[in-house]
Amino acid sequence: MPAAGKSRDVPPISAWMLRWFRGVVRGYFRRHFRSVMVQHPERLSAASGPLIVYANHSSWWDPMVSFLLAGRLLPGRNHYAPMDASALERYALLRRLGIFPVEMSSARGAAQFLRTSQAILTAVGTPGVVWITPQGRFADARAPLVFKPGLGALAVRTPGATLLPLAIEYSFWDERLPEVLLRFGEPVRIAAGATAEAATEQLRAALAATMAELRAAGMARDPAAFTPLLAGGRGAGGMYALLRRLRALVTGRAVVLDHTGRPGGGQEQDEETSGE
């Protein structure tokens, strides 16, 4: 992983701890989900320059999604995300992984967020990537989007930055375990001279459109409309899965554990070529 800029406002990242934690994250998704699938992953993997990825925030899993995507699709960049300072005190390990503290709902916290984020995005060498959930709280993916002002303020203070909307859904299709469905929207550029309020509305509309497109794809339940990122658990699990495997071994037939009889979701990218 490239070294971040020398600014004291850029939080340090432990490369070996990050590799370890990304492995933990992959294991979590394999155990708890059937698959992780994404639409338009090239919009992240091809990104260069100052980059802000902003997503809806409906679940505890959302930060884990960002760790997974960062490691799989853009491993050559340093990735960071803000977190409520009081919550981060309970998870001190995350400070070594690019998570930086922000005092919520205070002028001091807003200034802290802008100062650290701008330092990351303008780091010497390869600029860092900032991941943000601008709702600032958990909210159902079907609820109207309401953004806090921090993202818009950061956008107008970082000329030339690309802002990439990310829609996230957790959906049950036909199997025991749910699917993680993701979609990157069209990159957003904020016009020079735009106000923070105008930028916030532009960014909100872009994420709302991306979420609507993902919702339609999720309702269609067609794995072919997605790029598979990671494959998780299959079938009913337990003794039933063991018996199916034994039967396949005896008969010489391929084992298909899915309830639908269709593998679906594809296979995850090869570990050796993922760039980690």
How much is the pLDDT for 257?
A: 53
Question: Would 95 be classed as within a structural domain?
Answer: yes
Question: Would 248 be classed as within a structural domain?
Answer: no
Question: Would 163 be classed as within a structural domain?
Answer: yes
Q: Is the pLDDT of residue 237 over 70?
A: no
How much is the pLDDT for 270?
A: 39
In this prediction the pTM is 0.84
In CATH, what number is assigned to the domain containing residue 74? Answer: 3.40.1130.10
Ramachandran quadrant class, 136 (left: phi over 0; alpha: psi -120 to 50; beta: rest): left
Q: What percent of the chain has pLDDT over 90?
A: 71
DSSP conformational letter for 208:
H
Q: Which tens digits make up the pLDDT trace of 22-51?
A: 999 999 999 999 999 999 999 999 998 999
The whole-chain average pLDDT of the chain stands at 87
How much is the pLDDT for 235?
A: 52
How much is the pLDDT for 233?
A: 75
- In the three-class reduction of DSSP (H, G, I as helix; E, B as strand; rest coil), residue 264 is classed as coil
Question: Would 243 be classed as within a structural domain?
Answer: no
Question: Would 254 be classed as within a structural domain?
Answer: no
Average pLDDT of span 181-201? 96
How much is the pLDDT for 8?
A: 74
How much is the pLDDT for 253?
A: 67
How much is the pLDDT for 126?
A: 82
Please give the structure tokens belonging to residue 139.
Answer: 């909210």
C-alpha distances in Å from residue 160, one per residue of 40, 156, 267: 22, 9, 36
How much is the pLDDT for 258?
A: 56
Residues 6+ apart with CB under 8 A from 6: 124
Residue of 184 and 235 predicted with greater confidence: 184
Q: Is the pLDDT of residue 259 over 70?
A: no
Q: Which tens digits make up the pLDDT trace of 135-157?
A: 989 999 999 999 999 999 999 99
Q: What percent of the chain has pLDDT over 70?
A: 82
How much is the pLDDT for 248?
A: 57
Domain count, the chain: 1
Per-residue b or e along 163-176, where b marks 16 or more CB atoms closer than 10 Å to that residue's CB: bbbbbbbbeebebe
| Packing angle of the helix pair 15-32, 62-73 (nearest 10 deg) | 120
Question: Would 63 be classed as within a structural domain?
Answer: yes
**272 confidence band (pLDDT: 50, 70, 90):** very low
User: Closest Cα to residue 256, out of 175, 137, 195, 147?
Assistant: 175
Query: What are the φ and ψ backbone dihedral angles of 90, each rounded to 5 degrees?
Result: -85, -15
Question: Would 252 be classed as within a structural domain?
Answer: no
Environment class of 144 (CB within 10 Å of its CB; exposed 0-12, middle 13-18, buried 19+): exposed
Helices (H), 33-162: 42-45, 62-73, 85-88, 107-121, 150-157
Q: Domain of 228?
A: 15-233
Question: Would 168 be classed as within a structural domain?
Answer: yes
